[in-house]
Structure 1
Amino acid sequence: MTLASTTLDRASLDALAHGTHGDPFAVLGRHDDGSSPVIRAVLPGAEHVEAVDRATGAVVATLQEIDGTGVFEGEARGVDPYRLRITWPGGVTQETEDPYSFGLLLGDLDLHLFGESRHFELASALGANVATVDGVTGVRFAVWAPNARRVAVIGDFNAWDSRRHPMRQRLPSGVWELFVPRIGPGERYKFALIGPDGARLPDKADPVGRAFELAPATGSVVASPEPYAWTDDSWMDSRAAAQSPDKPLTFYEVHLGSWRTPDGRAVDWAYAAETLIPYVKDLGFTHLELLPITEHPFGGSWGYQPLGLFAPTARYGAPEDFARFVDAAHAAGIGVVLDWVPAHFPTDPHGLYRFDGTALYEHADPREGFHIDWNTAIYNFGRREVQNFLIASALHWLETFHVDGLRVDAVASMLYRDYSRKADEWVPNQYGGRENLEAVQFLQHLNAVVRERAPGAIMVAEESTAWPGVTKSTEEGGLGFHYKWNMGWMHDTLHYVEQNPIYRQYNHDGITFGLVYAFSEKFVLPLSHDEVVHGKGSLIGKMPGDQWQKLANLRALYGLMWTHPGKKLLFMGGEVAQGAEWNHDGQVDWRALDDPGHAGVQRLIRDLNRAYAAQPALHRLDSAPEGFRWIVGDDRANSVFAFLRLADGEAPILVVANMTPVPRHGYRIGAPVGGEWSEIVNTDSSLYGGSNVGNGGAVRAVEAPSHGEPFALELTLPPLGVIALRPNG
């Protein structure tokens, strides 16, 4: 039916009909435009539309379509509130409140805090939130797109028609909002935008979406509003002490999708709770560190190109399933750390890139806003709303999901404007330097807020340069991280053990040099996923010699790592001496455990974790020079190293490494106390597949000054072996 006349001007009518109107609340809903009030709605395809009184159901307006435009208008009789009764083709009738009959949704404080980078519960304001407005239940949508001419929310609830639900812009914040009645959790949706030049942009997923469709689909999903019923109060109350620098922290790094593939069952959070958590606990790791589980479109990125920084990937289940997994880990005494990626994001058209038709989240200048190495966009850390977005994401994982820490990826790429760039491909800072001052300020702000709002959680930096003060407090001018990955130790140590033992004497500094700076930061020693991909081979594949020597070398590497100052991280597969490099489409080579040598490596990791936790001298002063003392650091000819690990009031631990395949008998080592010393670790033990060369479990120190110590031990050093000894009594 066509309405012959309307109070709406032609330009507004055409804009509504074509989905280009930038101020829908000015013309839709109930308006007193002339001698009598009218009600307007955009309902393309509807056959009949009425407005009815909410309380009585009486018809208060019959709306007629204007010139076949899909815009309906009718003279209003009676008073608000009202509902729309819509008849669709096939006789389907829908009753719903009019989205344009509701007032402003977000408070001024929400918008102000967002603009000031202080809205730390951003997912409760932006995104899709189930809400009750004026007694009506529905979903409140809000999205930041300050340069868009028009934004609409689209989904199954409106047949993905961008004409149906254009949103209201809240100036000057640039946030668009709309309440859609009578929809709820599980609804799929996106945002349809028109850029500042009038061009329609690709439909965008929700930047603050808390759930997504399963990839390769790219839609956002309205998340359940029901909070998870946590049972981990005791864990949360005690984790600050448990994660402090004087505690034994060991991280088992996992890519969940390729850890273990079950027969006839999907890899999901329930499966991981049943299998992964007990495995990690049995091996004695204190923490499970997950490669990024934030939603990401391309599985081959392993999660390092995320677009859903507030949503656990749908690959493994719903958000509440992930919460249940974390709760189960805490019940087992296992902490959970997530890889988190604030350095860059992919340029997929449905994502953040040119979100409102402009460089909104990223820098416009590619010399600042584009990573050549990764073909990704770089966040504009100097923009307050972008800082707020990223900090709120970090807090979302720490507060909503009780995650115990975040490992912040690619920090070095954030700190330097010339990171991986040629001389003419970067822009200096305001002082002419290469430091990214905005990124520094962002990281300091992030870490300060985390310490304030998530006490006990840890922030770990993957930072590969000598940037000073990464783990120094922000009050002292540092970046404020709790721990930093020791990439120098990783590089030098792997380079050393890759050498044929004949040549190790010429690379002796590969082991000793790391102790020059070992206490400049609070370090984690990482043997991570990055060392077993892209043609680098597996850890055991890096080892020289025949199969026996490869296994012995790997065991010696682990022995050195677990006794060296610093917390420990090992990527999955390393504990079974997996022969092939990691394949994200496969799984850990569990069949390797059928070989006693590989099973022995796994047993060694379990025993090293337990020794590290049981002996305070091995962990209490991991970050302090007082916790380490060289005994023998200069025996290049024999490739032997000996050192003490110390803690006040605790038994010292003497560590001796022989990095050649030649057993050494009667090797004299200085010792700080006399009497019997027990051999608490021997990586050459037959329990681990070794040759069982050692000291029969114990040896006596005699009063004979050596290496600056008052006593001496005459030791048998196993080939390609590391031993650790503790004085009895």
Structure 2
Amino acid sequence: MTDTPAPYPQMPLSHETAQQIAQGALHDPFAILGPHESGGQVWVTAFDPGASGMEAVLGEDSYPLAPVEGAAGVFCGTIPERAPYKLRGTNASGDNWLMEDPYRFGPVIGEMDEYLLGEGTHQRIWKVLGAHVMECEGVQGTHFAVWAPNARRVSVVADFNSWDGRRNPMRLRGATGVWEIFIPGVGEGAPYKYELIGAQGQLMAQKADPVGFGAQHPPETASVVRDITGYGWHDDKWMTSRAASNAFDAPISVYEVHLGSWRRVAEDGNRPLSYKELAEELVQYATDMGFTHLEFMPVSEYPFDGSWGYQPIGLFAPTIRHGPPHEFRDLVDAAHEAGLGVIIDWVPGHFPTDVHGLAQFDGTALYEHADPREGFHQDWNTLIYNYGRAEVANFLISNALYWLEEYHIDGLRVDAVASMLYRDYSRQEGQWIPNKWGGRENYEAIELLQRTNIICYGECPGVMTAAEESTSFPGVSKPVDAGGLGFGFKWNMGWMNDTLDYIERDPIHRRHHHHQMTFGIHYAFSENFILPISHDEVVHGKGSMLTKMPGMEGEKFANLRAYYGFMWGHPGKKLLFMGCEIAQWSEWNYKDQIDWKAAEYHTHAGVQRLVKDLNALYRSTPSLYLKDCEPGGFEWLEGNDMDNSVYAWVRRGGPDDPPAVVVCNFTPMERNGYRVGLPKSGRWREAMNTDAEIYGGGGRGNQGGVEAEEVDWHGQDYSAAMTLPPLSTIILVHDAD
């Protein structure tokens, strides 16, 4: 490098501006830094606080840049033409380095993207925002873009610039509120954050990227550059045919999984399985058990393990706890190749207050409401999205589409929908703001959910959406054009609460609560229901499914087997949380794995075998699934025998499908000669008996089936006297002629 030149007296850079550069106070750095023409010359201004000298390099030639007095690290000088150049810096020790100048590159975001971002209608914001590994003007690097309309300055900070917010301030794209910069030489795996000067001139806590594709492992909080392009999917067959697997008339049996606690590796620090390991072990297990879908509790990056993912910060980043994004795709791809659909829990209802997250992102209530009566969840100490702001609604809708398109997810289960629908959710009088008509409905949230469903179903044919909605809000799973929210399915929380309350009671008292088991049929076809036995039922002191059951040990297992038989015979799709299928004694603990050792014992293995066989029977018997969501598929035979705690009903499929009859005995008394009406003559095969010895039961039953007699009973032309084992469910399927 040549000797450091004296400052040019004619340089087009005031000392005040140079000091703003050195202080990181420029609002529009691209107007000053990089190449600019002035007085018929091409001037280059550069900033590197670690340099004592700087020159611009064009090919074999170098051109010294003069230091600006009073602004350490700021250099300015001329080059002969406006052409690609590099910067060579030198420090006081004589070390030198060659680098590309980020400020010589033009904008990357196109005019149409800019327009749609500004309008809040860009359905695929992840294509523009976030950190994209790319080539720009023949140079490899990463393009960063973030929405922060009220910030005075936004910078990328990272290892490559010593986390110094003065060094890579970004370009503001007009009225969009989007800031961008292409930084050469940055690639896959680089941790980064954004440093912002807020609307009031305050230096903000460094923020993770709202549209970042990767994140550091908690408790570290930086985003990580991830190249999510170029994955080679192997699931074409599944993607073109999955609509049939997600349909209202399909057999849908969902295995809900918390990836961090399904199985752990004890010999390796009790770590959770990686996505790649899950792609082998979990997929094989769920397939062997006969489930049709896997549902993952939230996989979006989240800082606190104890939130189980329901307080996410990195909505566009699969959690690094199990591996990088491509490896999450490996898990989805493996599931699809095995014929399993993949559903993920999606959380648009709230977000945590962690300082590196969305809260007060640019110094203002940007993503949230400013008024805590609208913007703060008292139950969870979280913030509520401002659904009425176009850019925020677009952020969420785009995120839903992102998972469906980029990761081939087959369905979204939307968490805590009730908390979104009502402005007074879990609030006392005076703690909430009514809507424009003085009511409690949150119209902005309703519109968001409707738009999300319209776009997801429209852009990704064959997917499903499901709402966890705990109230009687009308039309959750009705089409938007019919006045509904547009979900494909709704979790039946009422059915779950009523039936669990019943089955937990001592059988001697069940006769007084008989209609808790029948009440669900009154509304069973008002929505497209999924019957959920989810993680929420086996945590926080509620006990496991087995410990909920009354009686001595053997009766507990019998009750649980009978309940599962009741559930699989009842109209509605099925969902079971991991560990419930092996009847583990302990309630779920997110810090440890399922009690797999329990499955080594006969009674636990019996329940596991029962769930597997129930899934097989369900999937192979159209009368048990085809009209899950239609009243024509169900008929009561006996719903009022409270003295005996017996229930019986018919399930029907298509006109040529053999009907099924489900009979439940929820007392510990064996009932011999109990007559049940049958809709057809001939033999009825005992396709399921939860008291079978193979399931850990007493082996009582009907020796494989019954023969219909021409005796009117239960409003049917035929009937049969049956043996109903104690605490059992029997499913009979008519043998076709």
Same fold (TM over 0.5): yes
Offset from partner CA, 1:546-586 (integer Å, 9 cap, x none): 00010000001100000000000000110110111111001
Query: What's 1:50 paired with?
Result: 55
Query: What's 1:143 paired with?
Result: 146
Which region of structure 1 is more displaced relative to structure 2, 25-34 or 663-672? 25-34
**1:392 is aligned to 2:395:** no
Equivalent of 2:587, from 578, 581, 592?
581
Identity within the alignment, % = 53
Q: What is the correspondence of 1:72-471 to structure 2 with a 5 Å cutoff?
A: 72-88=75-91, 91-265=94-268, 266=271, 267-471=273-477
Q: Secondary structure at the match of 2:278?
A: helix
Offset from partner CA, 1:156-194 (integer Å, 9 cap, x none): 111111111111111210000111112211111110000
The amino acid across from 2:238 in the alignment is W
Contact 1:39 1:63 in 2 (8 A): no
Offset at residue 63 of structure 1 (A): 3.6
Query: What's 2:502 paired with?
Result: 496
Contact 2:249 2:627 in 1 (8 A): yes
Offset at residue 97 of structure 1 (A): 2.5
Cα distance in structure 1, aligned partners of 2:116 and 2:567: 46
Contact 2:645 2:666 in 1 (8 A): yes
Contact 1:66 1:72 in 2 (8 A): no
Offset from partner CA, 1:349-382 (integer Å, 9 cap, x none): 0000000000000111100011010010000111
Cα distance in structure 1, aligned partners of 2:585 and 2:52: 67
**1:624 is aligned to 2:630:** yes
Cα distance in structure 2, aligned partners of 1:62 and 1:356: 35
User: For this pair of structures, how many residues does the alignment match?
Assistant: 727
Offset at residue 676 of structure 1 (A): 1.4
Contact 2:228 2:325 in 1 (8 A): no
Offset at residue 92 of structure 1 (A): 4.3
Cα distance in structure 2, aligned partners of 1:116 and 1:664: 68
Offset at residue 340 of structure 1 (A): 0.8
Cα distance in structure 2, aligned partners of 1:57 and 1:439: 60
Q: Does the C-alpha gap of structure 1 residues 89 and 566 become closer, same or farther in structure 2, counting only changes over 3 Å? A: farther
Q: Secondary structure at the match of 1:443?
A: helix
The amino acid across from 2:72 in the alignment is T
Contact 2:213 2:228 in 1 (8 A): no
Which region of structure 1 is more displaced relative to structure 2, 672-681 or 200-209? 672-681
Cα distance in structure 2, aligned partners of 1:59 and 1:385: 46
Offset from partner CA, 1:16-75 (integer Å, 9 cap, x none): 11111111112111223457442111100113211011xx23113434253252211123
Cα distance in structure 2, aligned partners of 1:342 and 1:467: 18
Cα distance in structure 2, aligned partners of 1:499 and 1:66: 83
**1:660 is aligned to 2:663:** no
Contact 1:679 1:725 in 2 (8 A): yes
Offset at residue 86 of structure 1 (A): 1.9
Query: What's 1:722 paired with?
Result: 729
**1:559 is aligned to 2:565:** yes
Equivalent of 1:710, from 713, 717, 728?
717
Cα distance in structure 2, aligned partners of 1:574 and 1:90: 66
Offset at residue 80 of structure 1 (A): 2.0
Query: What's 2:548 paired with?
Result: 542
Q: Does the C-alpha gap of structure 1 residues 225 and 94 become closer, same or farther in structure 2, counting only changes over 3 Å? A: farther
Contact 2:8 2:66 in 1 (8 A): no
Q: Secondary structure at the match of 1:256?
A: coil
Offset at residue 90 of structure 1 (A): 5.2
Cα distance in structure 2, aligned partners of 1:92 and 1:339: 52
RMSD: 1.4
Q: Does the C-alpha gap of structure 1 residues 12 and 652 become closer, same or farther in structure 2, counting only changes over 3 Å? A: same
Cα distance in structure 1, aligned partners of 2:228 and 2:470: 40
Offset from partner CA, 1:436-489 (integer Å, 9 cap, x none): 000010001000000111111111110011111111111111111111100000
The amino acid across from 2:32 in the alignment is V
Offset at residue 534 of structure 1 (A): 0.8
Structure 1, unpaired ranges of 5+ = none
Cα distance in structure 1, aligned partners of 2:404 and 2:8: 59
**1:522 is aligned to 2:522:** no
Q: Secondary structure at the match of 1:489?
A: helix
**1:39 is aligned to 2:44:** yes
Cα distance in structure 1, aligned partners of 2:571 and 2:386: 37
Cα distance in structure 1, aligned partners of 2:174 and 2:691: 70
The amino acid across from 1:670 in the alignment is G
Q: TM-score, normalised by structure 2?
A: 0.97
Which region of structure 1 is more displaced relative to structure 2, 446-455 or 219-228? 219-228
Q: Secondary structure at the match of 2:667?
A: coil
Q: Does the C-alpha gap of structure 1 residues 152 and 686 become closer, same or farther in structure 2, counting only changes over 3 Å? A: same
The amino acid across from 2:685 in the alignment is S
The amino acid across from 1:461 in the alignment is A
Q: Secondary structure at the match of 1:507?
A: helix
* Superposition misfits of 4+ residues, deviation over 4 angstroms: 33-36, 88-92
Offset at residue 220 of structure 1 (A): 0.9
Cα distance in structure 2, aligned partners of 1:225 and 1:484: 32
Which region of structure 1 is more displaced relative to structure 2, 77-86 or 269-278? 77-86
Contact 2:42 2:81 in 1 (8 A): no
Contact 1:240 1:456 in 2 (8 A): yes
Which region of structure 1 is more displaced relative to structure 2, 44-53 or 340-349? 44-53
Contact 1:61 1:77 in 2 (8 A): no
Contact 2:19 2:70 in 1 (8 A): no
Q: Secondary structure at the match of 1:464?
A: coil
Which region of structure 1 is more displaced relative to structure 2, 3-12 or 711-720? 3-12
Which region of structure 1 is more displaced relative to structure 2, 643-652 or 12-21? 12-21
Contact 1:39 1:61 in 2 (8 A): no
Structure 2, unpaired ranges of 5+ = none
Contact 2:118 2:177 in 1 (8 A): no
**1:678 is aligned to 2:685:** yes
**1:15 is aligned to 2:20:** yes
Contact 1:632 1:642 in 2 (8 A): yes
Which region of structure 1 is more displaced relative to structure 2, 59-68 or 105-114? 59-68
Cα distance in structure 2, aligned partners of 1:57 and 1:120: 46
Q: Secondary structure at the match of 1:641?
A: strand
Q: Secondary structure at the match of 2:250?
A: coil
Which region of structure 1 is more displaced relative to structure 2, 105-114 or 318-327? 105-114
Offset at residue 329 of structure 1 (A): 0.7
